[in-house]
Amino acid sequence: MLASVLGGCALLPPAPAPAARPAQPETASFALNGRISIDNLGTRQSAGLRWAHTAQSDELLLLAPLGQTAARVYRDAQNATLDDGDKQYRAANTELLMQQVLGWYLPLGGLHHWVLGLPATESPAQIEHDGAGRIAVLRQDGWEIRYLRYADNRADSLPTRLQLVRENLLMQLLIDEWEFP
C-alpha cells in the first residue's frame, strides 16, 4: 500500500515556480525549498532546506532525508537561535552560532541577495555575467558564488543552482521551489 501511495505522489506535476525576481528584491520576503550539500574540510553533509526570509527575520529548517527537522536556525534583530532537537543554542550572530554548533555556516547577510541573483548592496562585488546578462560568477565578502543554473534564459530569471566557496568550505544549493507573498 505504501508503494502505491508513494508512486501516486510521483505522478503529481511540480508546482509552477516563478521564473523572475520580484519587482523590489531588496525588500522582498520569500521562502524557498531545496537541498544543500556541504563539503567542509573533506567532511560531507547534505540536507533538505526550507528557508523563509523577511527583512526582519530568517528561519532555516535543515531537513533529514525523510523530511524530519534536523536543525532549526532562527534570527531576528535581537539574536539568533539554533535548535537541533536536543538542545537550543543562542548567540548574537547567526553565522557564528552555526559555525560553533554545525561546523559550517550560511552567510545570511549576503545570501538573501545572492539567491535572488543579485550582489549584496552593503559591500563591493566583482561580477561576471553570462550571455543572457545574468550573473555567472559573483565574488563578495570573501565568497565566490557560481550560478550554475537559472529557471530560464531571461535576464531577471531566478537562480535554481548555486555553488558557494570560501576557503575550505564548498556548498551546493539547489532551489526546487520559490514562494513570494
pLDDT band at 7 (very low <50, low <70, confident <90, very high): very low
Residue 13 pLDDT greater than 50, yes or no: no
Grid coordinates representing 36?
A: 544543500
Classify the C-alpha dihedral 118-17-150-46 as positive or negative: positive
- Which residue type occupies 178? W
Residue 22: the pLDDT is: 72
Domain ranges of the chain: 21-179
Q: Which residue has the cell 523530511?
A: 67
13 vs 180, more confident: 180
- pTM beyond 0.75: yes
Distance from C-alpha of 134 to C-alpha of 86, rounded to nearest angstrom = 42
Instruction: With beta carbons less than 8 A apart as the criterion, state whether 29 and 181 touch.
Output: yes
- How confident is residue 25, by pLDDT bands cut at 50, 70 and 90? low
Q: What is the pLDDT of residues 74-133, one digit of tens each?
A: 999 889 999 998 899 999 899 999 999 999 999 988 999 999 999 998 899 999 999 999
Q: Which CATH superfamily hosts domain 21-179?
A: Lipoprotein localisation LolA/LolB/LppX (2.50.20.10)
Q: What is the mean pLDDT of residues 130-140?
A: 95
Average pLDDT, the chain: 87
In the predicted structure, residue 169 carries a pLDDT above the cut 60 = yes
At residue 20, does pLDDT exceed 50? yes
